[in-house]
Amino acid sequence: MFTLQLSWPEQAISQAASLYWPEFVVEATPQVDSTNTVLLERARTGHNMPVLLVAEQQTAGRGRMGRQWHNTQPVGGMLAFSLGLPLPACDLSGLSLVVACSIVNSLDAQQRHGLRIKWPNDLWYGNSKLGGILVEISSQGGQRYAVIGVGINITAPLPLPPAAPNQPTPQPPAWVQQFAPQATAPEVLAQIAAPLVAAVHQFTQRGFEPWHSRFTARDALAGQAVWLSDGDTGLAQGVSAQGALLVQTSQGLRTVLSDDISVRPQTTR
């Protein structure tokens, strides 16, 4: 039987989040396969309460497009949690960018550390991936439930495995203690959770528009030559009003949706 090894700020987060979603709860668990998977399975059985589920260890974390999220750190080395929220009828375009903006603004409010966002869902420190976001939606009987998974390296992880054939070579990862040496996973969660809940609530009311300029200020791809996973190349030109990536290609300005394709700077191909 696994037991919790860290002290998590469940009560403080639940109290702050209840201002936006009444009956919000925070759960901390020693180990799961994937926090996103747990909340999605609950939603499919009708349990769509507002909740933040944090796990000290994930055995089968997932990233975008089915990729595995490699967790090589001991307990406390990575912050892994999922935010599950029932959503009203609203356009979800740009939600992952709002989540990313909220997190980097919480971790680097004065922009002293240069945290940036690689469209559509990666957190960057320097030119390395600090963390990732996975947004999944469950629709049951006309009800929508968003599961927002977040994984952030707190301490130095082991090197990533080699890239698959014909895939770009991954950059070495980054971690929070590079710019905040005393940070712990519970402290980082306490720092980012309540503002994140508030940001998602605002998003349900006003969409991506209030966050457009904040994303632009953190855009890691702006003005860079990029490679698209379908073989196209071009120059990244920011994002649209709905959060779609704009790429100037040889055939003209292309709008790239996050469900369609992955994007990388050409230097990391």
Pairing of β 233-239 and β 245-249? antiparallel
State residue 57's pLDDT score. Answer: 93
E strand or H helix that includes residue 112: none
Sequential DSSP letters for 144-195: EEEEEEEEEE-SPPPPPPPPPTTSPPPPPP--GGGT-TT--HHHHHHHHHHH
Instruction: Quote the CA–CA distance of 140 and 176 in Å, as a whole number.
Output: 37
State residue 51's pLDDT score. Answer: 98
Low-confidence ranges of the chain (pLDDT < 70): 1, 61-72, 160-161, 163-164, 166-170, 260, 267-269
State residue 162's pLDDT score. Answer: 72
Percentage of the chain exceeding pLDDT 90: 77
**Which residues, 6+ apart, have CB-to-CB distance to 215 below 8 Å?**
97, 100, 101, 117, 239, 243
**Cβ atoms 141, 134 nearer than 8 A:** no
State residue 150's pLDDT score. Answer: 97
**Cβ atoms 101, 211 nearer than 8 A:** yes
Both tokens of 148, joined, read 């927002």
CA atoms within 13 A on the CB side of 59: 6
Both tokens of 167, joined, read 């895939």
State residue 168's pLDDT score. Answer: 61
State residue 65's pLDDT score. Answer: 44
- Please tell me whether residue 142 adopts helix, strand or coil conformation: coil
